[in-house]
Chains A and B, each alone.
Chain A
């Protein structure tokens, strides 16, 4: 355990302690704890940046499951540091913001912050772990935390829908990710990312390389909401706004980007990697920006914008993978795409965080996020307007904001791709800058719409009546800081470029520092009149026109066919699977316990039969045969005959008597098999059992007279015959030579020496295995308590029943009692002796009189009370007799 481990795990510790801390300081908002912890973590991580910048990553290992070779290795290099700072920094600001935003009840606040902290810890663990399996564990934990946070308002149906959707989609990807990791392990023999890098080139030619890549990308694409897996992100906006700002724009959705960047050294150079990542990113970019324009919900715009921006970064990462197949100047050219992606990551966190928080403020103050109802807020909320403007300008890629620089770099990389001339890029490369340009125009449009529709124009009528004012300072400070960051990243990009971005990019492409080069990190606002600048001019011109005419052409979206949407597909497949699952499950889970017994028996037959069949140790050679005397033959044949007759007995009474016969024959068997104690006990027990059975029947006249044979059922017959045959085989197999000394010799030897008893069976029961006997008595006790309660409960229920009907007059009471009589065969009130005679209505009514001690309770209780003492005496009796023999 190192300091770095402690830092990673501290959010979990705080999450566990939070409810207690809340008790200790009830007046303090829980958000402060989370905010302070995040700030401390941020500062601590910043302390490592000097080492990282110098190019010496930090690695700390801690054996977690040594037997499986899984260690919790924390590895901090440039890439991890960038993400870790993003997680803790945004975490601190979001927690601060949420102190003012979240003002629900005590208990749900606990839940909120516990989940937020768990998420933060999981996210830190994800970006810091060096082992693929631990990474996967944290990856899923972020999905679970996200699921619970989206469903925070769990009474809202839409929240639950969104939560489930995100869970299903990201978990599907997570499963792919795990399979991909396992395939990587199969190929390379290691789960450690560092060792994977060293495995290098041989991996590419491995037949499992492509499946592993596709599975891992499935994980990354679902997590980062890439087309066509993006559909969960808009629905995730049901989460509280701080959660949207934190998980669904700044951190969790970037886990996919992190994974792609992290594994670039493994996969870079493969054409499939380049095509899937860059093209997938471009399609998502275009789709997201087109989708954002038609949104009317502020958070909806931001959700689609996030999808689009994630696509942008993804495509850049794809282009950066080209750096793996070039050297020298060209390599650095393509590596610049990686730098751009990572720089945009930072910018995106700054401006999107700002805009989410601003949207939250608008929602909080006006009560709506619908841009059709908003407008003219610039004068009422100047501060919120300013931060939103900064955020939007950075998002649109205008100077002097950070977004401008990364957007320029993005466009340059796209143009550069045309010159690559590999992977058949010659034909299609022209699409890259074209798609990028179109998407950027729409990015400009939705950024503009976000600000214009919310803050300009006249104030709507329904808002005028509300007393709208600027949000409390605690809510405005975090977006203020973030928008300042968005500006600072544009004016002084060197702040982040050398200490964060370059180490991160070099960690992503370790081949560059390894060959003694350094990535250029001079990020500048002014590039000169490059093609990218002219493209930006075009974007602004086209974007402005489109923004001004937006109201006219946005209607065109309604013309698109709705039935073909991916959401429809998702809903339909979910319904389909539900239906299929219900149908398949009800095929075998039919609610009949007899079927379940059959399954269990069938399984037993399969397993035991297989073992008997396959095991070479099982031979059916009997060690020795005991002699059978003629009278023993008679008993054994009698047993078989009585047993076989039971299923054919039409009347239940006959079946009971036949079963009793089996019991008595068993008694005789015990006598001949030299087991006097067993014979005695069996005798007593059998007598009581048969009496009990018959007594029960005696009071159930209908049953006694009913004659019905067991209906023959072939499956039941086959199962029971198979079990019988199997048990015979087992019995025979056991008779084989025994390789071990029986433990019984010990008991025979020690019975008198240690325990001083001559009846060995008794000594075993009361001395050697005394606890078994105690538990046996407990079983009896529990059984008798159960019997007692069954009878007692009934009596209570009747009491309540009669009291209940008293209110409804005598007539109703009579009716009820008649009804009960019809139902239970006897009438309710306990005091009423006549009515409660068991077997009332029988021809021989005097039978009831022969049981004078019956106090209106059920005959079963009666028999129970009578037999219970004997039952306890049964075994004790025989043992006492055994004891006498000792003396």
Chain B
């Protein structure tokens, strides 16, 4: 299963990066979201999969899956949510303000700067 998961991790990373490199702001936000899923899977796979039961004590089980990646991922999920919400509103406001979701059509700081110097 680990190998399959590793391949899925690769696929998710590739898709996430590809979306981040597009011009559409909304797809960039989606890309970051997919990237997070890839990282979560990677973290899970790192600790080997299904090596025991769920990390809950007092149920008569002796072996557990590694709880540490789960703690990390839990933190990551929440932070990712905050970031996604922020990005989304940013993209939304950018669209309202600039009437485009195309990164290339947004007047960037440097292009304005260049415009002044020339």
Contact = CB atoms under 8 A, between A and B. Distances in A.
A693 B16 CA distance: 17
B13 A625 contact: no
A761 B1 contact: no
A421 B49 CA distance: 88
A780 B75 CA distance: 11
B66 to A, nearest CB: 5
A760 B71 CA distance: 9
Contacts of B84: 689, 692
Interface in A845-887: 858, 860, 864, 867, 871, 874-875, 878, 885
Given A734-B46, A744-B47, A748-B55, A692 B85 contact: yes
Contact of A646 (B19, B50, B58): B19
A677 B106 CA distance: 41
Contacts of B108: 591-593
Nearest to A717: B18
A823 B110 CA distance: 23
A689 B63 CA distance: 35
Candidate in A628, A675, A713, A764 with the most chain B CB atoms within 10 angstroms: A675
A721 B5 contact: no
A784 interface: yes
B47 to A, nearest CB: 7
A674 B48 contact: no
Contact of B79 (A682, A732, A776): A776
A784 to B, nearest CB: 7
B92 A685 contact: no
A593 B20 CA distance: 10
B10 A731 contact: yes
B82 to A, nearest CB: 4
Nearest to A797: B97
Contacts of A791: 89, 93
A675 B70 contact: yes
Contact of B74 (A652, A663, A681, A734): A681
20 contacts: A594-B23, A625-B3, A626-B48, A640-B8, A652-B26, A674-B50, A716-B21, A720-B17, A723-B13, A731-B9, A732-B6, A735-B6, A760-B64, A761-B70, A765-B71, A776-B78, A790-B90, A791-B89, A860-B93, A867-B85
Contacts of A885: 56
B33 A689 contact: yes
B67 A597 contact: no
Candidate in A627, A659, A825 with the most chain B CB atoms within 10 angstroms: A659
* 6 closest Cβ pairs, A-B complex: A724-B14, A728-B10, A591-B110, A731-B6, A783-B82, A720-B17
B109 to A, nearest CB: 8
Contact of B85 (A720, A723, A731, A783): A783
Contact of B15 (A594, A647, A764): A647
A98 B84 CA distance: 63
Contact of A758 (B40, B56, B97): B56
Contacts of B42: 727, 730-731
A640 B11 CA distance: 7
A542 interface: no
A824 B99 CA distance: 7
A564 interface: no
Contacts of B111: 591
Contacts of B109: 591
Interface string A469-493: 0000000000000000000000000
Nearest to B6: A731
Nearest to B29: A693
A787 B93 CA distance: 10
Interface string B26-42: 11001001100110111
Contacts of B19: 646-647, 710
Nearest to A731: B6
Contact of B86 (A693, A717, A776, A787): A787
Contacts of A646: 15, 19, 30, 34
B2 A625 contact: yes
A673 B13 contact: no
A860 B90 CA distance: 10
A672 B52 CA distance: 12
A735 B22 contact: no
A723 B22 contact: no
Contacts of A744: 47, 66-68
Interface of B: 1-24, 26-27, 30, 33-34, 37-38, 40-42, 44-58, 64-68, 70-71, 73-75, 77-86, 88-93, 95-97, 99, 101, 103-104, 108-111, 114
Contact of B17 (A601, A790, A794): A601
B14 A720 contact: yes
A622 interface: yes
A786 interface: yes
A743 interface: yes
A830 interface: no
Contact of B41 (A666, A699, A747): A666
B90 to A, nearest CB: 7
A14 interface: no
Candidate in B23, B77, B101 with the most chain A CB atoms within 10 angstroms: B77
B6 A674 contact: no
B68 A644 contact: no
Contacts of B40: 666, 678
B77 A627 contact: no
Contacts of A685: 77-78, 80-81
Contact of A592 (B15, B33, B82, B104): B104
A752 B90 contact: no
Contacts of B71: 761, 764-765, 769
A742 B47 contact: yes
Given A594-B23, A724-B17, A758-B58, A623 B48 contact: yes
B55 A639 contact: no
B78 A875 contact: yes
A858 B3 CA distance: 46
A459 interface: no
Given A719-B21, A724-B11, A824-B97, A628 B26 contact: no
A632 interface: yes
Nearest to A826: B96
Contacts of A730: 42
A871 B11 contact: no
Interface string A659-691: 100110010010011111110011001001100
A3 interface: no
Contacts of A725: 10, 14
A783 B33 CA distance: 16
A211 B69 CA distance: 58
A597 B54 contact: no
A776 B75 contact: yes
Candidate in B37, B45, B52, B85 with the most chain A CB atoms within 10 angstroms: B85
A858 B96 contact: yes
A422 interface: no
A110 interface: no
A678 B49 contact: no
